[in-house]
């Protein structure tokens, strides 16, 4: 029997040795492509979840305010998402991620509009996903700051005044301040840390809300002869529904801020986020039960949001136990913040300042307290810097609007309700309304 020649065998082995690196390279390329796709998919899902938060804000604000102003709340929240997306596309994205900072890490601008190469695969600051994925995720955050303001100034601000303020604040102030940390600006270089926006989103919105409330003044009939008169929201089930929608969306808010589909990091952030919210409910429930002698539903739902705002700055760097403590303390301080603001006659119908500003500050400082790699002093510097500029800019904007077209509706329109006064429409028929005396 004739044996086959050895030459073909040797040649085959040689070819295999030559081909092996290219096969390995192809496998690596395939894995990289899969990871790229999965990262993009998760960030787009997170964008959808953040988008749903706007429905949560709408339901929460509508439920905690009077029926006669419901249409006005709906119109404002529909307008905010449009303003946020359009202004972020026009200037905001390139303000927040300018690439270079001619003014020593304080201000930079990469130009008007959004755009990239033909493939659309160049991210602004991370090669792990496309430029367009990056933009839409960040754009969903942009309108949130203005939404925070909406609830605090509800029931007495002119619609056109609010829309003008929101457009300028979201287009310029929010992204310029965001660049200080998320865009690689001076606070990022100094070691300040804000994972998903306790300060950059929530406190920046909260400072603006505080400025608006100061200049607007309280609603008619809220403070009479030295007493505080409660003006009750008209639909508590709707408000609680809004809270749960916000909690649901927060998994995208915090989970998407991992900026990849890393299963370990995302699942950990989900856990710290959920536990902080649960602890916030517990803290607010216990506090109202002790202080007010009964568990207050509106305070409890704000306790959940307080816990969520509190954990947002450090959801990826604090321990699970620390997340519970942060949420618990947030749930406690939000109750006292609401009480104190009422006593100094700062009328915030939905508790937005207490939830987003007070607890945003607490959550930012908590990073320095509970995460050893960060400094409380640096975190405080960031809080104060953001506060000074955000509050100052909002105060100037509101003041300018007040001096031109006016901020507040007339007393007659406020008593009648903004739905009829500004929209010639009612949300409900035959619903009893609050009458100021």
Query: What pLDDT sits at residue 18?
Result: 59
Cα torsion at 112, 114, 118, 123 (round to 10°)?
120
Residue 161 has pLDDT above 90, yes or no: yes
Is 432 a residue whose pLDDT tops 60? no
Is 430 a residue whose pLDDT tops 70? Answer: no
- Mean pLDDT across the stretch 39-68? 96
Average pLDDT, the chain: 91
Three-class SS of the chain:
CCCCCCHHHHHHHHHHHHHHHHHHHHHHHHHHHHHHHHHHHHHHHHHHHHHHHHHHHHHHHHHHCCHHHHHHHHHHHHHHHHHHHHHHHHHHHHHHCCCCCCCCCCCCCCCCCCCCCCCCCCCCCCCCCCHHHHHHHHHHHHHHHHHHHHHHCCCCECHHHHHHHHHHHHHHHHHHHHCCCCCCCHHHHHCCCCCCCHHHHHHHHHHHHHHHHHHHCCCCCCEECCEECCCCCCCHHHHHHHHHHHHHHHHHHHHHHHCCCCHHHHHHHHHHHHHHHHHHHHHHHHHHHHHCCCCCHHHHHHHHHHHHHHHHCCCCCCCHHHHHHHHHHHHHHHHHHHHHHHHCCCCCCCCHHHHHHHHHHHHHHHHHHHCCCCCHHHHHHHHHHHHHHHHHHHHHHHHHHHHHCCCECCHHHHHHCHHHHHHCCCCCCCCCCCCCC
277-323 pLDDT per residue, tens = 999 999 999 999 999 999 999 999 999 999 999 999 999 999 999 99
Is the pLDDT at 384 greater than 60, yes or no?
A: yes
Q: Is the pLDDT of residue 34 over 80?
A: yes
Give the global pTM: 0.90
Could you tell me the domains of the chain?
Answer: 22-423 (1.10.3430.10)
Q: Express as a percent the part of the chain with pLDDT over 70.
A: 89
Is residue 155 scored above 60 in pLDDT?
Answer: yes
User: What is the Cα–Cα distance from 308 to 431, expressed in whole angstroms?
Assistant: 33
Beta-carbon contacts of residue 138 (< 8 Å; ≥ 6 apart): 88, 93, 96, 97
Average pLDDT of the segment spanning 58-87 = 96
pLDDT confidence of residue 3: 39
């Amino acid at each position: 029997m004739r044996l086959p020649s050895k030459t073909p065998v040797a040649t085959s082995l040689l070819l295999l040795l030559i081909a092996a690196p290219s096969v390995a390279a192809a496998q690596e390329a395939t894995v990289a492509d899969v990871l790229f796709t999965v990262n993009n998919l998760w960030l787009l899902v997170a964008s959808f979840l953040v988008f749903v938060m706007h429905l949560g804000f709408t339901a929460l604000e509508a439920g905690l305010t009077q029926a006669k102003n419901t249409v006005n709340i709906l119109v404002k929240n529909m307008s905010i998402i449009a303003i946020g997306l359009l202004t972020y596309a026009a200037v905001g994205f390139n303000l927040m991620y300018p690439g270079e900072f001619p003014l020593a890490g304080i201000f930079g601008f990469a130009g008007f509009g959004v755009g990239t190469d033909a493939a659309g695969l160049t991210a602004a600051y991370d090669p792990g996903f496309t430029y367009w994925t990056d933009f839409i995720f960040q754009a969903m955050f942009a309108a949130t700051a203005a939404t925070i303001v909406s609830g605090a100034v509800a029931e007495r601000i002119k619609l056109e005044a609010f829309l003008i303020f929101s457009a300028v604040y979201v287009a310029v102030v929010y992204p310029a301040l965001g660049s200080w940390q998320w865009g690689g600006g001076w606070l990022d270089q100094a070691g300040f840390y804000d994972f998903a926006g306790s300060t950059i989103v929530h406190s920046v919105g909260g400072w603006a809300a505080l400025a608006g409330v100061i200049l607007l003044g309280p609603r008619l009939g809220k403070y009479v002869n030295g007493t505080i008169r409660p003006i009750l929201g008209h639909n508590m089930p709707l408000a609680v529904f809004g809270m749960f929608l916000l909690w649901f969306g927060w998994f995208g808010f915090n989970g998407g801020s991992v900026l990849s589909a890393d299963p370990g990091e995302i699942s950990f952030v989900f856990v710290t986020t959920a536990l902080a919210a649960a602890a916030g409910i517990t803290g607010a429930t216990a506090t109202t039960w002790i202080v007010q002698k009964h568990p207050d539903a509106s305070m409890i739902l704000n306790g959940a949001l307080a816990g969520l705002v509190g954990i947002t700055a450090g959801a990826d760097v604090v321990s699970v136990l620390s997340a519970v403590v942060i949420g618990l303390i947030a749930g406690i301080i939000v109750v006292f913040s609401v009480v104190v603001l009422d006593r100094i006659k700062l009328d915030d119908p939905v508790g937005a300042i207490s939830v987003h500003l007070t607890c945003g500050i607490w959550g930012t400082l908590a990073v320095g307290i509970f995460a050893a790699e960060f400094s409380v002093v640096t975190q405080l510097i960031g809080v104060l810097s953001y506060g000074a500029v955000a509050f100052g800019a909002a105060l100037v904007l509101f003041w300018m609007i007040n001096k031109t077209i006016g901020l507040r509706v007339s007393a007659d329109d406020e008593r009648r309700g903004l739905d009829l006064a500004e929209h010639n429409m009612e949300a409900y028929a035959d619903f009893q309304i609050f009458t100021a005396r």
